[in-house]
Amino acid sequence: MSNNVLLDVRNLKLHFRTRSGPVQAVDGVSFQLREGHTLAVVGESGCGKTSLAKAILRLLPRNVTTFSGSVIFEGQDIMKYDDEKFRREIRWSKIAMVPQASMNSLNPVIRIEDQLMEPLLIHENISKQEAAQRVRDAFAVVGLPVDFLARYPFELSGGMRQRAAIAMALASKPRLVVLDEPSSALDLLTQANLMNVLKKIKHEFKTTFILITHDIGTASELADEIAVMYAGEMIEYASADYFYTDAHHPYSQKLMASVPTLREDKDLAFIPGQPPSLINPPAGCRFAQRCEKRFEKCSEHPRVTSLKNGASVQCWLFDEMGEVKHA
């Protein structure tokens, strides 16, 4: 694997307008992702995972109030591109997304082959034959029989439709694929088969993935790095090796302690309370109210600290242990 940074996100913000005030769904998120690596973004429902993906791919709803920061991809700040250029040069062709519940997003009455070819014909200057070949290749990669291409989505099981949605994202040969909860709606065995497929793609084609999931166990099947989001912020970013044995942030530690394990008998613990509202979140650390380790300093907004092991943590406990990255 190369050490090239493929994606460098800096201070990304995405806020939505609502009647009660702006929702700070993504609020100052920064991270880097190296080529060929997989970053798993984990966190509880509503913490901003899907919004982060939408911000990177610029798939924005109408009620956006703030959309700022930089997204440096292959060395270019693609936030500076206008919508037309972004659509032509980035979305699908370079960065593709498999949206949440995408197994249900295929049009049930259009043949799968036609649906998969459409983005290729729109976004890439290739012939119909070439597009058809690419789609066949992608189908083989995700382990679907090629004759299924002639079928309609309703004729396929949920697991097969999910593979078709992934094939659609792969067909344009993007350098980065964002997978939003690709397996959560699937049965256990189907889910395990799908993770095998993704792992194979990762190894064989060195595809870079962002895997969004609330399932920390499944994330470990694919992740080189783990990012934990809480209330719109990325409060920890660490290599999977460190994260799964010694998560840093108090929230990450609690989250890990709440995950039941099949093979090991551990004391389970839950996190009392609830995450804060994303409308007017607390000015200090957003986890402070539920944190057993909070101290005076926590009423101020914590800075992001880079640790020697490569992890970044947004927590005052780490402020003096590493090098402060930014406020």
Partner 1 sequence: MPSVAVKPKQEQAKAKKPVLKVEDLHTYFEVRRMGFFKVGDVRALDGVSFELYPGETISIVGESGCGKSTLAKTILGIHRPTKGKIYFDGQDLSTLDKDGWKKYRSNLGYIMQDPYGALPPFMTVKRILEEPMKINGITDKKEHAKRIRQVLEEVKLAPIEDFLPKFPHMLSGGQQQRLVIARAMILEPKMLIADEPVSMLDASVRVEILQLLQGLQRKHNLAIIYITHDLSTVRYFSERIFTMYGAKIIEKSATKALLHEPLHPYTKALFEATSDPDAENLKTFKDVPAGEPPSLMNPPAGCRFHPRCKYIIKGLCDREIPPEFAARSDHSAACWLYKDRA
Ligand X SMILES: Nc1ncnc2c1ncn2[C@@H]1O[C@H](COP(=O)(O)OP(=O)(O)OP(=O)(O)O)[C@@H](O)[C@H]1O
- Residues forming contacts to ligand X in the complex (CB under 6 A) are 16, 18, 23, 25, 43, 45-51, 61, 63, 100, 214, 278
Which member of 217, 293, 309, 310 binds partner 1 (CB under 8 A)?
Answer: 217
**Cα end-to-end distance, the chain, whole Å:** 31
In the DSSP assignment, the letter for residue 121 is H
**Nearest-10 Cα torsion for 260, 52, 74, 81:** 170
Paired sense of beta strands 208-212 and 176-180, if any: parallel
Q: Is 49 helix (H, G, I), strand (E, B) or coil?
A: helix
Q: How far apart are CA 48 and CA 53, in angstroms?
A: 9
The verdict on 271 binding partner 1 (CB under 8 A) reads: yes
Q: Which does 223 bind (CB under 5 to 8 A by kind): partner 1, Mg ion, ligand X, none?
A: partner 1
**Which lies closer to ligand X via its Cβ, residue 143 or residue 276?**
276
1 scored as a contact of partner 1 (CB under 8 A): no
Residue 146 contacts partner 1 per CB under 8 A: no
27 scored as a contact of partner 1 (CB under 8 A): no
Segment interacting with partner 1, rule: CB under 8 A, options 64-72, 95-103, 125-133, 253-261: 253-261
Give 49 or 94: the residue with its C-beta nearer to partner 1. 49
User: Which partner, ligand X, Mg ion, partner 1, none, binds residue 25 by CB below 5 to 8 Å per kind?
Assistant: ligand X
Nearer to ligand X, 230 or 318 (CB): 230
C-alpha torsion angle, residues 199, 189, 217, 309 (rounded to 10): -10
Say which residues have a Cβ less than 8 Å from residue 134's Cβ, sequence separation at least 6: 120, 126, 171, 172, 173
Q: Which two tokens stand for residue 275?
A: 């995450």
With CB under 8 A as the contact rule, which of the stretches 12-20, 163-171, 255-263, 303-311 interacts with partner 1? 255-263
Q: Closest Cα to residue 216, out of 33, 44, 34, 29?
A: 44
Residues in the chain: 327
Q: Which is nearer to partner 1, 19 or 263 (CB)?
A: 263
User: Smallest Cα–Cα separation from 162: which of 236, 242, 101?
Assistant: 101
| Pick 69 or 153: Cβ nearer partner 1 | 153
Is 155 a binding residue for partner 1 by CB under 8 A? The answer is: no
For residue 190 the two structure tokens come to 């189907």
Binds 51, which of Mg ion, partner 1, ligand X, none (CB < 5 to 8 A, cut-off by type)?
ligand X
Backbone angles phi, psi at 141, to 5 degrees: -60, -40
Which is closer to partner 1, CB of 83 or CB of 241?
A: 241
Q: Does 252 bind Mg ion (CB under 5 A)?
A: no
Q: Contact between 50 and Mg ion (CB under 5 A)? A: yes
The one-letter code for the residue type at 327 is A
Which of residues 187, 206, 280, 324 is near partner 1 by CB under 8 A?
A: 187
Interface with partner 1, residue 269, by CB under 8 A: yes
Nearest partner of 113 among 143, 162, 150, judged by Cα:
150
Q: How far apart are CA 308 and CA 149, in angstroms?
A: 49
Q: Which run of H or of E encompasses 101?
A: none
Task: Tell the smallest beta-carbon distance from residue 50 to ligand X (Å).
Answer: 3
**Residue 195 found at the interface with partner 1 (CB under 8 A):** yes
Residue type, 290: R
Which stretches of the chain bind Mg ion, using CB under 5 A? 50, 100
Which stretches of the chain bind partner 1, using CB under 8 A? 44-45, 157, 159, 187-189, 191-193, 195-196, 199-200, 214-224, 240-241, 243-245, 254-265, 267-272, 274
